[in-house]
Amino acid sequence: MANHKSAKKRIIRNAKRAEINKGRISRIRTYVKKVELAIESGDKASAQAALKDAQPEIMRGVSKGVLHKNTASRKMSRLSARVKAVGASA
């Protein structure tokens, strides 16, 4: 347990930030899941629309510091490739 007042404040602040970041990551995962469900359904138009909605959410995660820039780029690249393949396989 923290002994200094500043350390106690830091623990409280870290807990608040962790809660906020947890919500942001959850929101990103929800958008990614919507894209994946659209891909599984085989509907390219809905998959593209879901990807278009997910992209700013993922990039917002980067700007807020919950995702690394390269991680977000990798996620976007892989999702884009999967959405592109939906029409080719059908």
What's this model's pTM, rounded to 2 decimal places?
0.85
Domain-wise residue ranges, the chain: 5-89
pLDDT at 73: 97
Q: Please identify, in words, the CATH class of the domain defined by 5-89.
A: mainly alpha
- The whole-number pLDDT of residue 90 equals 47
Report the pLDDT value the prediction gives residue 23, as an integer from 0 to 100. Answer: 97
Looking at residue 87, what is its pLDDT? 76
pLDDT string in tens for the chain (90-residue length) = 788 999 999 999 999 999 999 999 999 999 999 999 999 999 999 999 999 999 999 999 999 999 999 999 999 999 999 999 987 754
> What is the separation, in whole angstroms, between the first and last Cα of the chain?
59
Residue 32's closest CA among 76, 68, 71, 89? 76
